[in-house]
Amino acid sequence: MAKVEVDSLPVSVITGFLGSGKTTLLNRLIQHPGMDKTAVVINEFGEIGIDNMLVESVDDDVVLMSSGCLCCTIRGELVDTLKSLYTRRAKQEIPDFDRLVIETTGLADPAPILHTLMADPFLMGRYRLDGVITTVDAMLAMDTMEKHMEAVKQAAVADRIVISKTDLADADAIAALEGRLRGLNPAAGIHRAVKGEIDPALLFNAGLYDPESKTLDVQRWLRTEAYDEDAKRDETHGHRHEHGQGHDVNRHDARIQAYCVYLEEPLPWDQIASWLELLTTYRGDDILRIKGMLNVAESETPVVVHGVQHMFHPPVQLDAWPDADHRSRIVFITRDLGRDIVENMLAALTQKKPAEFAAGPPLPP
């Protein structure tokens, strides 16, 4: 099992549909004093109007802002850019930075960027994923999500969602949008911003490692209680996400499902690994994200897994259980892949009944 390198650099990915305020948000962030030791990787300097900002120095494809934030354009492959930044930092050829932010294009699926961080051995040991930040337009997001599946996926995989242009939309429209986003992604923090103004502290430190406590905070990262509350709301309102009932079947978000599966008993690692491998082999394109804390029979302490589509980060073994509840907890965010399929596949490998994998609220401490 791997260990999280706590001195590795946290990476945040900013994504969002065209016109959703992503560039405006980034403009404000790189001027914020709290971003003084941040490196931002973008496609083109011109896209964020960097020429109009205070620039202390320019070094080839790296610009140092007066705020202390570094901006770097992607030259060639993203892997090469990230390797170059880390190496130049180590050689003190560029100012030190302790956080990396990557901006995607407006139509981009963030999954390939996450794959890059999970797959390259050099990057895996030096960078760690902190979270995905997705911008949505308060005026247009409802319509955009109806027309473009990509916009729905961007919201579904986010750890933080920023609703932009809230000064232009009425309160009822914003509330309806927040409700729809919460249905798509129960655990994501949802924040509002006007002209990109937001405290960076609300957007970062969303990953497994908590820099304040200097520990691995898996409960804060998983937020399984959000999925339990969402399931209770579904039962109250008489519909279930996995079958699309209670939703307009023509809506893209009716295809997105978010749920948490609890496993009551410890399982051998080879069974869990086979289950996850089968899922990603046959339905990888439909697995937007998996996060889990597992009770593995061979280990006295939990194992953390994190996957995006076909790719998994090496499993991480924690030093101790965070509380008295030792059940495995696995969060799935999927497209056209219901809980029943996930549970039946595990049941076939373990000879257990799917009913034993019930999703319910955590046991009291």
Give the number of other CB atoms < 10 A from CB of residue 338: 17
pLDDT confidence of 234, banded at 50, 70, 90?
A: low
Return the number of other C-beta atoms located less than 10 Å from residue 56's C-beta: 11
Q: Which residue type does 224 have? A: T
Domains plus CATH for the chain? Answer: 9-215 (3.40.50.300), 224-357 (3.30.1220.10)
- Most confidently predicted of 162-171, 246-255, 275-284: 162-171
**DSSP code for 330:** E
Q: At 236, is the pLDDT very low, low, confident or very high (cuts 50, 70, 90)?
A: low
Rounded-to-integer distance, Cα 340 and Cα 355, Å: 10
Dihedral, CA atoms, 230, 236, 238, 244, nearest 10 degrees? -10
Cross-strand bridge partners of residue 304: 293, 316
pLDDT of residue 233: 62
Instruction: Quote the CA–CA distance of 90 and 269 in Å, as a whole number.
Output: 38
Q: How far apart are CA 287 and CA 310, in angstroms?
A: 8
Residue 181 tokens, joined = 């986003």
pLDDT at 245 over 50: no
Residues of the chain with pLDDT > 70: what percent?
85
Q: How confident is the model at residue 363 (pLDDT cuts 50, 70, 90)?
A: very low
For residue 331, pLDDT beyond 70: yes
* Torsion angles phi and psi, residue 53, rounded to 5: -105, 165
Q: Tell me, what's the pLDDT at 61? A: 79
The mean of the pLDDT values for the chain is: 85
Q: Cβ neighbours of residue 282 under 8 Å, at least 6 residues apart?
A: none
Residue 19, φ and ψ in degrees, nearest 5 = 80, 10
pTM for this entry:
0.89
Burial class (CB in 10 A: 0-12, 13-18, 19+), 279: buried
